[in-house]
Amino acid sequence: MAWKRNPAPKSIYRRQLAARLKELHDQSGKTLAEVGQIIEVNQGSLSRIMNGDRGTSPVLVKALLDCYGVTDPAVREDILDLVRADQAQRQKWWRKYSAVINTTQYGGYLELEQSATTLRSYEPQLVPGLLQTPEYARQVITAMRVDLDAKQVEALVDVRMNRQTLLVHDDAPKLWAVIDEAAFRRIESRPTVLKEQLEHLLDAEPRTNITLQLLPFAAGFHPGLYGSFMLMGFPEPNPDVVWVENLTNSVYFEGSDDVGRYTEGFDHLRATALGPPETRSRIKSMLKEL
């Protein structure tokens, strides 16, 4: 089914916090109604916090710890650290770009991307945004978003470059990208931009969390002819998500049938594409041609 809401999974910290609080609650022998009366918080809100469905604050958690009789400073600080970590993860770095992002098809994509553990991308016409150079991104956004002025274009270039820091964190997601040969041939008329982009891909590819495959024209017809898509995987129990973008909006799918079809299509694409070593050799050959 298609998503019309922001379906970002719960953070790891929030789920750990919920488990700790639930354990303390069970040990206390109190009911949620009793706890709610003591700390003056609605029972429904407490239930959502215990289930990890909503975030909370250090003030409220301190009140809960007092209610449960938790006095050990180390235990209290450990639990409060989970609250602070969840709050930090909820701070969206792209908030300052909201004026321009709201006019694009990003929707909840950025939040999903930040929470993902695996990213499987198929691109028939472009290098994936997570692997673009600044100048490549600038020319792509300028050409595709004719409704934006130069300042707005630069704001989106900044967003795209900031997104890429995701791939160099200690807990970086694994990115598997299948890119059609057309994405490279399309910008042969801009050899400087293409050269820089190809070199950037060669620099990125050796990272253990990045796998690149080029789908050559010789592959002929294939499932990717429907268009680009991104498969995002998350820690259990969150379901995988498919993200598809078109000219006017973005659509998210989480139904097992939809995700299964896209997963099957991606598996076919990566089986048809050149392997990572052959892809690296092909990119080097393109550089020599330039």
What is the domain partition of the chain in residue ranges?
A: 2-90, 99-289
Quick check: 7 pLDDT over 60? no
Report which residue type is found at 37: Q
Backbone dihedral angles phi then psi of residue 234, each to the nearest 5 degrees: -135, 165
Encode pLDDT of 213-258 as tens digits: 999 999 999 999 999 999 999 887 778 899 998 777 778 888 889 9
Quick check: 3 pLDDT over 70? no
Quick check: 1 pLDDT over 60? no
Question: 99-289: which CATH number, 3.30.870, 3.40.1000, 1.10.287, 2.40.50?
Answer: 3.30.870
Burial of 169 (0-12, 13-18, 19+ CB in 10 A): exposed
pLDDT confidence of residue 4: 37
Residue labelled with tokens 């139904």:
255
Quick check: 5 pLDDT over 80? no
The mean per-residue pLDDT over the stretch 170-185 comes to 94
Question: 2-90: which CATH number, 1.10.260.40, 3.40.50.300, 3.40.50.10480, 3.90.1150.10?
Answer: 1.10.260.40
pLDDT confidence of residue 138: 96
pLDDT confidence of residue 10: 59
If DSSP codes are grouped into helix, strand and coil, which group holds residue 157?
A: helix
pLDDT confidence of residue 110: 86
| Alpha-carbon dihedral 159, 183, 117, 79, rounded to 10 degrees | -10
pLDDT confidence of residue 103: 62
Among 68, 69, 75, 61, smallest CA distance to 14 is for 61
Encode pLDDT of 74-103 as tens digits: 999 999 988 888 877 666 777 777 777 766
| Residues 131 and 204 sit within 8 Å (Cβ to Cβ) | yes
Encode pLDDT of 23-80 as tens digits: 999 999 999 999 999 999 888 889 989 888 888 899 999 999 999 999 999 999 999 9
Confidence of residue 290 (pLDDT cuts 50, 70, 90): confident
Backbone dihedral angles phi then psi of residue 235, each to the nearest 5 degrees: -60, 150
pLDDT confidence of residue 252: 83
The CA radius of gyration of the chain, in Å to the nearest whole number, is 23
Which residues, 6+ apart, have CB-to-CB distance to 271 below 8 Å? none
**Two tokens, residue 91:** 């701070």
**Two tokens, residue 284:** 């080097």
**Two tokens, residue 86:** 């969840």
Confidence of residue 104 (pLDDT cuts 50, 70, 90): low
Encode pLDDT of 109-151 as tens digits: 887 898 899 999 999 999 999 999 999 999 999 999 998 999 9
Quick check: 6 pLDDT over 70? no
